[in-house]
Chain A
Amino acid sequence: MSWRTLETVGWFALYIGLIAFVLLWNSAPAFYREIFIERSISDWVPDGTRDYVPGTTIAGNELNAVFAGGWWTPQGELRWSKGKFGRVLLRPTRALPTGSRLVATVSALPVWFGPPRELSIGIDGQIVEQRSLGPDPQRIEVPVPAAVAAGDELEITFAIDRVQTPQSVGASDGAMGVGVALHEFAVLAPP
């Protein structure tokens, strides 16, 4: 094998090493990984907590650790889901007994052609609401299907049947895919 062939081997090794480094190296802090790589947190709030006092209204444009993966950073008065799904994870500081309710205000981009968007809301894996959704904000109130003990994690998923881009409906020049717009939500214990 000549020196020049060895040089080719060397270049290939260098580039394979670089690609491996780019794909596999990961020494970022856990919080960075959760936001940028695992996408399980949406907002940069290093001291944030998912502890949630039942009855507290959380605005969609609030920076809050309860916004788990699937959300864009807030825009104006709301925030958009990044694709079809946006998840909220919270830990109630008090038990949520049977009869607790999720109250949320949501909307979607307008539709120029075809049927309206279909929204689904899931709580801890169970679909609790399905309805059509348009650009006008809708206040939705649905029951939490089971009691939740204090400190247990409650997962709420806002899902929509199709992703759109703001640009495609003339809302802005943004070409990022968005689904549900979350204006605000709260989980209320029964009185």
Chain B
Amino acid sequence: MLAALRSSTFVKAFALAGACLAFFALAYVFVELISGGNWRDLCDWDCKWYQSIAERGYDVDPRARPYDLQANYAFYPAFPLAVSAIMAVTPLSFSQAGMLLSGLFSGLFCWLVLVFYRELRLPDERAAIVFLLAFLLSPFSLANHIPYTEMLFNLAALATFVAWRREQYVAAALCGFVLTATRLTGVVLPIALLLELLIRERWRIGPMLLRPDARMRALAVMPLGLASFMVYLGLHVGDPLANVRVQEFGWDHGFNNPLLSLATAFFANSALAAAGAGTIIGVTTLLVLGIRAGRIPIPLAALAFFSYAIPATSRMMSVPRYALAIFPVYLVAAMLPKPLQRVLIPLLALLQIVAVHLWLTHHLVLV
């Protein structure tokens, strides 16, 4: 482990993550300078909810303010708990600690990709770097640089998958636990890995269940992150499903017919709905192409797909972020011809500057 940390790959990974973060910081400075230099706080929208969890813990009652039934237990605990741990041992504010953690998670993500790129079906280190640049410089990766759950979710998903593929099942179980405690959709990865295992070894499902091995044990542990949160809510709020209910009542995130939701989005006189529907079709197409070309592992494609498909059943707002701040779709960047890669990455970086501007002006497309 220590040798790995000292290796040049580790330095390279953090240099790469640091360069992407520096670009994001420069984009922020540039946008602020051309728009009057107000130096607005990057902690906005859901970030405020994470901050409330980190600073005062979970609510018991929904906020008693007009026109909403919102409460911070709509948000999962792993990220705000990690930030509050940093805040407890340093003098950093929530925003500072959150940014620091997201940067650290970016570095670890890059390191995992550069060391284990073959598990992601990337042919060589160059392809790994192309994938990382496309992912971290993309406009919606803004959510990976600010105090949002995205980077932890990406890191936990990647670490779970890599550990699983390398048959390090204790690590896979622990990372999967964190993944399912980070977001509801994290539970898709253990389900996808279970289905993959059951299909591959379908002739011995009975013996596998009767005499569970390390794989089954790891898969059984992974959803316990989500289960722990539900038990906590049961004891704290009195309702284990409080998270789902407050999402429906406070944010209109109920579950509707997904096909109807997608079909009607095209007829809606709403740029947000059109952006969400267009993103769903575009990203789903890329995921399918990536699977067919053998470049995106199916469990990761399933995780990416359900990360936006489940929220899309209620409304299209936030769908672009759910779809484009999650890493698997960017694996297709490494498939592209080199001249196209040289165009794509600067283009994505330019769009990230636009995204920073939209974020600072509270544009709903980035929510």
* Binding partners A and B: yes
Task: Tell me if A56 counts as interface (CB < 8 A to partner B).
Answer: no
Q: Flag if B238 contacts A26 (CB, 8 Å).
A: yes
Q: How many A-B contacts are there with CB distance less than 8 Å?
A: 130
Given that A167-B270, A175-B313, A175-B316 are known contacts, is A18 also in contact with B239, CB under 8 Å in the complex?
no
CB neighbours (8 Å) of B212 from chain A are 4, 7-8, 11
B245 touches A36 (CB 8 A): yes
B249 part of interface (Cβ distance < 8 Å): yes
Mask of A26-67 contacts with B, CB within 8 angstroms, 1/0: 111100100111000000101000000000000001010000
Are A167 and B268 in contact, CB atoms less than 8 angstroms apart? yes
Residues of B214-228 whose CB lies within 8 A of A:
216-217, 220, 227
Kindly identify which residue among B250, B267, B314 contacts A170, using a CB–CB cutoff of 8 Å.
B267
Q: Mark B278-322, 1 if CB is under 8 A from A, else 0.
A: 000000000000000000000000000000000001111100000
Q: Are B317 and A21 in contact (CB under 8 A)?
A: no
Contacts of B332 in A (CB 8 A): none
Tell which of B59-67, B129-137, B160-168, B176-184 binds the partner.
B59-67
Give the nearest-CB partner of B254 in chain A. Answer: A176
Closest to A176 in B: B252
Is B68 close to A, CB under 8 A? Answer: yes
With a CB–CB cut-off of 8 A, which chain A residues contact B254? 176
Q: How far is the CA of A61 from the CA of B256 in the complex (A)?
A: 25
Most A Cβ at <10 Å: residue of B216, B239, B313 = B239
Q: Measured between C-beta atoms, what is the minimum distance from A166 to chain B in Å?
A: 8
Task: Write the nearest CB–CB distance from B298 to chain A, whole angstroms.
Answer: 24
Residues of A within 8 A of B209 (CB): 8
Is B349 an interface position by the 8 A CB rule?
no
Given A27-B234, A32-B239 in contact, is the A167-B249 Cβ separation under 8 Å? no
Would A21 and B240 be within 8 Å (CB), given that A8-B209, A36-B245 are in contact? yes
Question: Are A4 and B245 in contact, CB atoms less than 8 angstroms apart?
Answer: no
What residues of chain A lie closer than 8 Å to B235, measured between beta carbons?
Answer: 27
**Contact B241–A22 (Cβ < 8 Å):** yes
CA distance A28 to B61 in the complex (A): 10
Interchain nearest-CB distance for A174 vs B (Å): 6
A36-B266 Cα distance, complex, nearest whole Å: 32
CB<8 Å pairs between A and B, sample of 30: A2-B211, A4-B210, A4-B211, A7-B212, A8-B212, A11-B216, A21-B231, A25-B234, A25-B238, A29-B238, A32-B238, A37-B239, A44-B62, A73-B67, A74-B67, A112-B267, A165-B264, A167-B261, A168-B260, A170-B268, A170-B270, A172-B268, A172-B273, A173-B270, A173-B276, A175-B256, A175-B260, A175-B313, A175-B314, A176-B256
- Contact residue among B230, B238, B264, B315 (Cβ-Cβ distance under 8 Å from A18): B230
Contact B256 A22 (CB under 8 A): no
Would you list which residues of chain B between 246 and 268 have a CB under 8 Å from chain A?
246, 249-250, 252, 254, 256, 260-261, 264-265, 267-268
Q: Does B237 contact A (CB under 8 A)?
A: yes
CA distance A37 to B241 in the complex (A): 10
What residue in chain B is nearest A164 (Cβ atoms)?
Answer: B264
Residues of B within 8 A of A35 (CB): 69, 249
Q: Is the CB–CB distance between B234 and A21 below 8 Å? A: yes
The answer to the question of B272 belonging to the interface, with a C-beta cut-off of 8 Å to chain A, is yes
Determine whether B174 belongs to the interface, using a CB cutoff of 8 Å to chain A.
Answer: no
Q: Judging by beta carbons under 8 Å apart, are B67 and A28 in contact?
A: no
B242 at the A interface (CB under 8 A): yes
Beyond A4-B212, A36-B242, A172-B268, 8 additional pairs, beta carbon < 8 A? A8-B210, A21-B230, A21-B234, A26-B239, A165-B256, A166-B268, A167-B264, A175-B315
Bound-complex Cα distance A11 to B67 (A): 43
Kindly state whether residue B269 has any CB partner on chain A within 8 Å: yes
Cβ-based interface call for A72 (8 A): yes
- The contact string, 1 if C-beta is below 8 Å from chain A, for chain B 1-36, is 000000000000000000000000000000000000
Q: Given known contacts A32-B237, A73-B67, is B265 in contact with A173 (CB within 8 Å)?
A: yes
Query: How far is B265's CA from A166's CA once the two chains are assembled, in angstroms?
Result: 10
A90-112 residues at the B interface, CB under 8 angstroms: 112
A177 proximal to B (CB < 8 A)? yes
With a cutoff of 8 Å between Cβ atoms, the chain B residues found around residue A63 in the complex are 66-67
